[in-house]
């Protein structure tokens, strides 16, 4: 019997897990995928919002601003990339200025610090590639960018090192309310816990509705993105939003923490909770809208496109708290943007609630720090040489686009909750994320995974499940059905 | 501090041939840096035959072609380092020396000073992302070259039921290769109305095995959330837009992409080498020297070649020119410069300009055309006067063209006194 | 009399050839621009041959596979039989380019030869990482 089971190893689930690990108790995170950060948390804008967007007084607004304030310290404690690059909301129509002021006012009410309205000249001075029609800009210096994988993985590793268990490839099929606990029927057997946290992203309605009569509904809202090569990464230095205007809601243009340029997202409601495919219409929309706030975008430098699903709850509000007719069942549902920003605050809110409920005691051995994978590019020549002398694998470059060494990949595999798949390595190290999109490094990374984890090549996957990378050793031609003409 | 006369980046066909030529021109301090585990570059995975007809007058496989040059390098005791990544190239404070920063397991990260650099890094394959192909992102999508390495060098089969997008030579070669390994290659789709591959490959890689080639077709959707389950093709109109109603879905577990090659010039760009947006390779002069004095380029890093024989030929010139630079035997007088202007069907030229004082008796101009042309002329005009006219029964974008210019001819036609002369090269259809 | 369509592979022109056959005998070739078209059609219709290249597994080598080919072209209809024989093979390093890997493949009288040199793998005390790239 666990004290608490968390469903979902996304950024919300792992943030709650990490906060809970400050207390003594038996906690477990169940994840249907093979790794952390496989759902909404892996495909989003990676933006740490300032907090002027959400309705004043909403939980969204409160947690957004709180999360924003917590992010810097958390990123230092857990060693994940975060830069406070500031964001612009670009207004391109004189008659839309009142709406820009409205945003400013809302930000003030929500407690966002240092908001400013910039004139066209001030804005263009700071960001020369803003579109020519720029009239004014809402500047939020507290906004930032974060590595969504880096943050999620860091939270999970730290939770794990502080005693939280993780069960992957474990899909919850059914939840049964018992007298004083819950029974979870999963693809890997039965789990029992006194309390359950539902941090299941787009599936949160499914689990909520298993235990409650007050039904909720979550719509997967698809957002497509395009990612540009690092040579385009300096096109803008701030995160650029377009003030919704005559072209509808715009797309954002932002540098990423790794130095690429990202443009997106679209917003299309769909029904398939796994519908993470990109579409021709979506990519076209992004390409058309991107120019509305930023000019001269080098759209030829696209290296990949991807889609993520936001967990949109009908009321567009975070639902965090104990479900009224299901004591001990804590919802963490409807976590869409600004969910990533809010995650640190969500963790504290949900964990505090559970601490009170279960009267959890402090965990005296809790260690808040976690060290990420070393980035050798930040070392001096001498330091790097010392490193390679001790660990020659750091001298062997595997991913030549991102210059990732075998040493970093070995670390990704062997660290707590380490990578088991090609995407697992990619999310932890960026190997394969560059301009050639793993064309060169994938056979080499596969070889390393095979060697280190002793997984037969035929069973190596891109991202778990049935995503096998090769179909076998080369076969006898006996089975060959082809004929020679 | 390690010091060399010439450092060559890359031990593929270009780097090897350049090293041999530089050595034979009298340079002894040459170092080749190679990131892979063996010299030979991409030839190591091109195990099919058809290489070397021009160079050796016989048909060799890729590894055999590479072996000829590796032997020449070894016979000359030219130093090369494997598994070594070049992390950056800079101009030394005491220019014209250049500093190459390299790294490997044994030696760590270190710097090498060199008088001249030859860029021979080759090219990489364009990825799915660059094409904006919509759909899921499952396992089973490989660039043709990655699949080629997996099959030929590692002995793995990436899939059993295959659709190939792109009919360049690698795509065609892989269609046959996968078939011979027992996979079922369903179709090769090509966006353009013509194939970029050699006729021989269409006949011997597709027709021999009854694999259909669909011209003017592209992939508009990829199905399968974990592993590829299907690929939808559609015919495209003249603007390459998919035509509604022409969609066909193929059940498959693998999609191979052979959709173009891009010179790999990140190191060059970091050094400040100016790149031609048409080729993504450096602009070079008659000596295959970039805008940075003493930095030369050859092979696929300069522009993507069709035949390795031309790579060897070009690299030979780059090696000789780098040697001349090192020996400082070049004429330093700036003199007359001829700007080459590609027009009407000629997409680019290598070189892009000629300094007459440095020019050899004969200069090869290499280029590609932008369309299929039949019964046409390649004509060159120097300051609007026609100086060369060469009849070509057929030209296609998939093949590299060349024109040889005699120095005498240019000398007799230049405007005396004018520092800049324009040489227009274009296709003229009769 | 029957007509066969062929594409000449002699050059990028890719002439569409029409060859008329009387039984196995080629009576006429049309559509070619140069004499190479005719000789290509004759060869393709009477005795089509191909070089087959592949790679085979290596035991104890510094690489996992060695590339090989038929030393000469073999009849086209023997390609699959040839692949079947080659695919069963494992060879032991060292292998030198040109080494005969298999004699008289599929009864063609043609040998399979290595197209690459693969040295024996260095002693087992080598550190684990370096054998991989």
List the single residue in C79, C132, C133 with the smallest CB-CB distance to A484.
C79
Residues of B whose CB is below 8 A from A226: 132
Same domain membership, residue A28 and residue A12:
yes
**Would A183 be classed as within a structural domain?**
yes
Question: Which three-class secondary structure string do you get for chain A?
Answer: CEEEEEECCCHHHHHHHHHHCCECCCEEEECCCCCCCCCCCCCCCCEECCCCCCCCCCHHHHHHHHHHHHHHHHHHHHCCCEECCCEEEEECCHHHHHHHHHHHHHHHHHCCCCCEEEEHHHHHHHCCCECCCCCEEEEECCCEEECHHHHHHHHHHHHHHCCCEEECCCCEEEEEECCCCEEEEECCEEEEEEEEEECCHHHHHHHHHHHCCCCCCEEEEEEEEEEECHHHCCCCCCEEEECCECCECCCEEEECCCCCEEEECCCEECCCCCCCCECHHHHHHHHHHHCCCECCCCHHHEEEEEEEEEEEECCCCCEEEEECCEEEEEEEECCCCCHHHHHHHHHHHHHHHHHHHHCCCECCCCCCCCCCCCCHHHCCHHHHHHHHHHCHHHHCEEECCCCEEHHHHHHHHHCCCCCCCHHHHHHHHCCCCCCCCCCCCHHHHHHHHHHHHCCCHHHCECCCCCCECCCEECCCHHHCCCCCC
Q: CB contacts < 8 Å between A and B, how many? A: 163
Give the residue on A whose Cα is nearest the Cα of B138.
A467
Average pLDDT over residues C28-38: 90
- Reply yes or no on whether the pLDDT at A477 is more than 50: no
Check residue A482 and give its pLDDT. Answer: 52
Same domain membership, residue B362 and residue B388:
yes
Same domain membership, residue B322 and residue B227:
no
Same domain membership, residue B255 and residue B178:
yes
A163-192: per-residue pLDDT in tens?
999 999 999 999 999 999 999 999 999 999
Å from A426 to nearest chain C CA?
A: 19
Å from A47 to nearest chain B CA?
A: 22
Q: How far apart are CA A371 and CA A79, in angstroms?
A: 6
Å from B171 to nearest chain A CA?
A: 15
ipTM: 0.93
**Would A66 be classed as within a structural domain?**
no
CATH (domain of B49) = 3.50.50.60
Which of B227, B267, B268 to mutate against chain A (most A CBs within 10 Å)? Answer: B227
Residues of B whose CB is below 8 A from C59: none
Which of B199, B204, B400 to mutate against chain C (most C CBs within 10 Å)? Answer: B199
List the single residue in C14, C53, C130 with the smallest CB-CB distance to B49.
C53
Give the residue on A whose Cα is nearest the Cα of C44.
A485
Check residue B332 and give its pLDDT. Answer: 63
Q: How far apart are CA B113 and CA B4, in angstroms?
A: 6
The alpha carbon dihedral of C2, C5, C9, C13 has a sign of: positive
Q: CB contacts < 8 Å between A and C, how many? A: 32
Check residue C133 and give its pLDDT. Answer: 34
**Structural domain span for residue A169:** 2-41+148-216+316-358
Same domain membership, residue B158 and residue B56:
no
- Reply yes or no on whether the pLDDT at A306 is more than 70: yes
The residue from A330, A358, A386 where one domain ends is A358
CATH (domain of A167) = 3.50.50.60
Same domain membership, residue A207 and residue A158:
yes
Q: Tell me if C57 and B155 make a contact (CB, 8 A cut-off).
A: yes
**Would A70 be classed as within a structural domain?**
no
The residue from B304, B330, B356 where one domain ends is B330
Same domain membership, residue A325 and residue A190:
yes
Average pLDDT over residues C101-126: 87
Check residue A479 and give its pLDDT. Answer: 43
CATH (domain of A446) = 1.10.10
Distances (CA, A) of B102 to A134, B20, B87: 46, 22, 5
**Would A62 be classed as within a structural domain?**
no
Same domain membership, residue B231 and residue B317:
no
Check residue C88 and give its pLDDT. Answer: 81
**In chain C, ranges of CATH 3.10.530.10 domains:** 53-114
Q: Tell me if A477 and C80 make a contact (CB, 8 A cut-off).
A: yes
Q: pLDDT confidence of C126, banded at 50, 70, 90? A: very low
Å from B121 to nearest chain A CA?
A: 12
Check residue B277 and give its pLDDT. Answer: 95
Q: Say which residues have a Cβ less than 8 Å from residue A318's Cβ, sequence separation at least 6.
A: A58, A59, A60, A63, A332, A333, A334, A335, A339, A342, A346
Provide the chain A residues 411-470 that lie in CB contact (below 8 A) with chain B. Answer: 422, 435-440, 442-443, 447, 457, 461-463, 465-470
For residue B8, the 8-state DSSP code is E
Same domain membership, residue B364 and residue B308:
no
Å from B224 to nearest chain A CA?
A: 9
CATH (domain of A279) = 3.30.9.10
Overall number of domains in chain B: 3
Same domain membership, residue A389 and residue A354:
no
Residue of higher predicted confidence among A479 and C4: C4
The alpha carbon dihedral of A113, A119, A120, A125 has a sign of: negative
Average pLDDT over residues C100-113: 96
Give the residue on B whose Cα is nearest the Cα of C132.
B37
Overall number of domains in chain A: 3
Average pLDDT over residues C35-40: 91
Nearest to B110 by CA among A394, A382, A378: A382
Same domain membership, residue A445 and residue A296:
no
A190-233: per-residue pLDDT in tens?
999 999 999 999 999 999 999 999 999 999 999 999 999 999 99
C121 touches chain B (CB under 8 A): no
- Reply yes or no on whether the pLDDT at A94 is more than 90: yes
Share above pLDDT 70 across residues of chain A, in percent, rounded to a whole number: 97
Which of A38, A274, A277, A446 to mutate against chain B (most B CBs within 10 Å)? Answer: A277
B154 touches chain A (CB under 8 A): yes
Same domain membership, residue A231 and residue A298:
yes
Check residue A152 and give its pLDDT. Answer: 98
A374-418: per-residue pLDDT in tens?
999 999 999 999 999 999 999 999 999 999 999 999 999 999 999
- Reply yes or no on whether the pLDDT at C125 is more than 70: no
Residues of B whose CB is below 8 A from C9: 198-200, 203-204
Residues of C whose CB is below 8 A from A482: 80
Residues of A whose CB is below 8 A from C84: 476-478
Residues of C whose CB is below 8 A from B307: none
Same domain membership, residue B98 and residue B43:
yes
Distances (CA, A) of C2 to A459, C20, C30, C43, C46: 52, 6, 13, 17, 14
B109 touches chain A (CB under 8 A): yes
Residues of A whose CB is below 8 A from C132: 444, 447-448, 451
Same domain membership, residue B411 and residue B294:
no
Give the residue on C whose Cα is nearest the Cα of B396.
C12
Residue of higher predicted confidence among A475 and A297: A297
Same domain membership, residue A282 and residue A186:
no
Å from B109 to nearest chain A CA?
A: 6
* Active site residue ranges of A: 49
C72 touches chain B (CB under 8 A): no
Same domain membership, residue B162 and residue B230:
yes
**Would A225 be classed as within a structural domain?**
yes
Give the residue on A whose Cα is nearest the Cα of B179.
A482
Which chains are within 8 Å of A by 3+ CB pairs?
Answer: B, C
Q: CB contacts < 8 Å between B and C, how many? A: 87
Residues of B whose CB is below 8 A from A306: 137
Which chains are within 8 Å of B by 3+ CB pairs?
Answer: A, C
Low-confidence ranges of chain B (pLDDT < 70): 329-334, 416-419
**Structural domain span for residue B244:** 127-259
Check residue B329 and give its pLDDT. Answer: 66
List the single residue in B62, B151, B199 with the smallest CB-CB distance to C7.
B199
Nearest to A196 by CA among A329, A91, A107: A329
Same domain membership, residue B132 and residue B116:
no
Check residue A483 and give its pLDDT. Answer: 56
The residue from B330, B351, B367 where one domain ends is B330
- Reply yes or no on whether the pLDDT at A340 is more than 60: yes
Mean pLDDT of all residues belonging to chain A: 95
Q: Assign domain C53-114 to its CATH superfamily.
A: CPE0013-like (3.10.530.10)
Residues of A whose CB is below 8 A from C76: 484
Same domain membership, residue B133 and residue B70:
no
Same domain membership, residue A302 and residue A223:
yes
The residues with which A404 forms a beta bridge, in sequence order, are A399
CATH (domain of B388) = 2.60.40
Check residue C110 and give its pLDDT. Answer: 97
Same domain membership, residue B274 and residue B224:
no
Which chains are within 8 Å of C by 3+ CB pairs?
Answer: A, B
Question: Which of A22-26, A57-61, C49-53, C86-90 comes out lowest in average pLDDT?
Answer: C86-90
Residues of C whose CB is below 8 A from A484: 76-77, 79-80
- Reply yes or no on whether the pLDDT at C129 is more than 70: no
- Reply yes or no on whether the pLDDT at A428 is more than 80: yes
Q: How far apart are CA B73 and CA B11, in angstroms?
A: 10
A238-271: per-residue pLDDT in tens?
999 999 876 677 899 999 999 999 999 999 999 9
The residue from B229, B259, B289 where one domain ends is B259
List the single residue in C55, C79, C117 with the smallest CB-CB distance to B47.
C55
Q: How far apart are CA A277 and CA B223, in angstroms?
A: 8
**Would A478 be classed as within a structural domain?**
no
């Amino acid at each position: 019997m666990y004290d608490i089971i968390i469903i979902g190893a996304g950024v919300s689930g792992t943030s709650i897990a990490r906060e809970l690990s400050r207390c003594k108790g038996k906690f477990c995170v169940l994840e249907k995928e093979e790794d952390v950060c496989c759902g909404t948390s892996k495909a989003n804008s990676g933006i740490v919002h300032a907090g002027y967007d959400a309705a004043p007084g909403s939980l969204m607004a409160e947690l957004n601003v709180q999360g924003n304030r917590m992010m810097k310290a958390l990123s230092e404690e857990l060693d994940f990339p975060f830069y406070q690059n500031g964001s612009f909301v670009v207004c391109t129509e004189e008659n839309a200025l009142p709406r820009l002021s409205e945003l400013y006012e809302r930000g003030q009410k929500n407690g966002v610090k240092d908001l400013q309205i910039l004139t066209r000249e001030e804005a263009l001075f700071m960001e020369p590639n803003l579109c020519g029609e720029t009239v004014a800009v809402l500047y939020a210096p507290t906004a930032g960018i974060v590595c969504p994988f880096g943050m999620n993985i860091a939270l999970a590793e730290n939770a794990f090192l502080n005693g939280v268990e993780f069960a992957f490839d474990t899909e919850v099929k059914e939840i049964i309310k018992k007298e004083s606990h819950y029974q979870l029927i999963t693809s890997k057997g039965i789990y029992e816990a006194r309390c359950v946290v539902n941090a299941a992203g787009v599936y949160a309605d499914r689990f909520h509705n298993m235990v409650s009569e007050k039904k909720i509904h979550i719509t997967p809202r698809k957002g497509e993105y395009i990612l540009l090569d690092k040579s385009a990464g300096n096109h803008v230095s701030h995160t650029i939003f377009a003030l919704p205007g005559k072209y509808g809601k715009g797309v954002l243009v932002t540098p990423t923490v790794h130095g690429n340029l990202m443009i997106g997202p679209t917003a299309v409601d769909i029904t398939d909770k796994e519908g993470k495919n990109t579409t021709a219409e979506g990519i076209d929309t992004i390409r058309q809208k991107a120019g509305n706030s930023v000019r001269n975008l080098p759209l030829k430098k696209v290296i990949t496109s991807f889609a993520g699903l936001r967990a949109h709850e009908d009321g567009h509000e975070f639902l965090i708290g104990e479900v009224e007719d299901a004591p001990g069942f804590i919802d963490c549902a409807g976590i869409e943007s600004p969910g990533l920003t809010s995650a640190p605050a969500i963790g504290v809110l949900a964990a505090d609630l559970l601490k009170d409920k279960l009267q959890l005691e402090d965990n005296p051995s809790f260690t808040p720090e976690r060290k990420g994978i070393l980035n050798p590019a930040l070392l001096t020549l001498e330091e790097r040489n010392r490193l390679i002398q001790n660990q020659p694998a750091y001298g062997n470059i595997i991913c030549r686009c991102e210059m990732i060494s075998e040493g970093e990949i070995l670390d990704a595999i062997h660290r707590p909750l380490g990578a088991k798949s090609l995407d697992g390595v990619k999310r932890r190290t960026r190997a394969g994320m560059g301009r050639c999109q793993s064309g060169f490094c994938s056979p080499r990374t596969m070889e390393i995974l095979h060697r280190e984890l002793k997984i037969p090549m035929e069973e190596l996957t891109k991202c778990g499940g049935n995503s096998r990378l090769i179909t076998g050793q080369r076969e006898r031609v006996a089975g060959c059905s082809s004929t020679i003409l | 501090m390690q010091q060399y006369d010439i450092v060559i980046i890359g031990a593929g066909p270009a780097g090897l041939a350049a090293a041999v030529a530089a050595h034979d021109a009298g340079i002894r301090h040459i170092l080749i840096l190679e990131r892979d585990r063996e010299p030979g570059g991409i030839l190591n995975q091109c195990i099919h035959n058809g290489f070397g007809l021009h160079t050796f007058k016989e048909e060799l496989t890729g590894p055999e072609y590479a072996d000829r040059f590796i032997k020449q390098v070894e016979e000359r005791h030219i130093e090369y380092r494997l598994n070594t990544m070049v992390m950056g190239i800079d101009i030394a404070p005491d220019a014209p020396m250049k500093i190459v920063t390299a790294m490997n397991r044994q030696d760590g990260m270190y710097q090498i000073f060199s008088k001249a650099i030859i860029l021979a890094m080759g090219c990489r394959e364009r990825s799915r992302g660059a094409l904006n192909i919509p759909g899921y992102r499952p396992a089973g999508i490989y660039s043709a070259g990655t699949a080629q390495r997996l099959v030929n060098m590692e002995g793995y089969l990436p899939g059993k039921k295959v659709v190939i997008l792109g009919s360049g030579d690698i795509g065609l070669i892989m269609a046959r290769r996968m078939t011979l390994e027992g996979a079922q290659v369903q179709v090769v789709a090509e966006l353009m109305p013509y194939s970029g591959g050699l006729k021989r490959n269409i006949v011997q890689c597709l027709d021999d095995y009854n694999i259909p080639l669909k011209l003017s077709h592209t992939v508009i959707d990829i199905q399968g959330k974990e592993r590829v389950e299907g690929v939808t093709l559609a015919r495209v109109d003249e603007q390459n837009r998919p035509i509604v109603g022409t969609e066909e879905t193929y059940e498959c577990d693998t999609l191979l992409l052979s959709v173009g090659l891009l010179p790999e010039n990140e190191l060059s760009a970091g050094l400040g080498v100016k790149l031609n947006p048409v080729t993504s390779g450096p602009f070079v002069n008659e000596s295959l020297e970039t805008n940075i004095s003493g930095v030369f380029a050859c092979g696929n890093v300069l522009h993507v070649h069709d035949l390795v024989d031309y790579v060897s030929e070009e690299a030979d010139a780059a090696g000789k020119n780098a040697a001349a630079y090192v020996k400082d035997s070049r004429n330093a007088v700036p003199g007359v410069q001829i700007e080459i202007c590609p027009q009407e069907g000629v997409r680019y030229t290598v070189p892009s300009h000629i300094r007459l004082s440095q020019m050899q008796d004969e200069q090869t101009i290499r280029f590609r055309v932008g369309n299929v042309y039949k019964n046409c002329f390649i004509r060159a005009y120097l300051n609007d006067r026609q100086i060369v006219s060469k009849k070509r029964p057929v030209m296609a974008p998939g093949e590299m063209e060349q024109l040889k210019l005699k120095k005498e001819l240019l000398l007799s036609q230049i405007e005396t006194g004018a520092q800049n002369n324009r040489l227009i090269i274009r296709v003229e259809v009769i | 009399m029957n007509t066969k369509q062929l594409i000449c592979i002699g050059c990028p022109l890719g002439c569409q050839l029409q060859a008329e056959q009387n039984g196995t005998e080629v009576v006429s070739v049309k559509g070619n621009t140069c004499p190479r078209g005719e000789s290509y059609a004759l060869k393709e219709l009477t005795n089509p041959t191909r070089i087959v290249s592949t790679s085979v597994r290596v035991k104890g080598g510094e690489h996992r596979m060695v590339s090989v080919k038929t030393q000469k072209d073999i009849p086209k209809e023997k390609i699959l039989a040839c692949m079947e024989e080659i695919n069963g093979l494992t060879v032991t390093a060292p292998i030198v380019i040109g080494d005969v890997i298999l004699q008289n493949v599929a009864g063609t009288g043609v040998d399979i030869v290595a197209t690459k040199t693969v040295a024996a793998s260095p002693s087992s005390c080598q550190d684990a990482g370096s054998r991989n790239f």
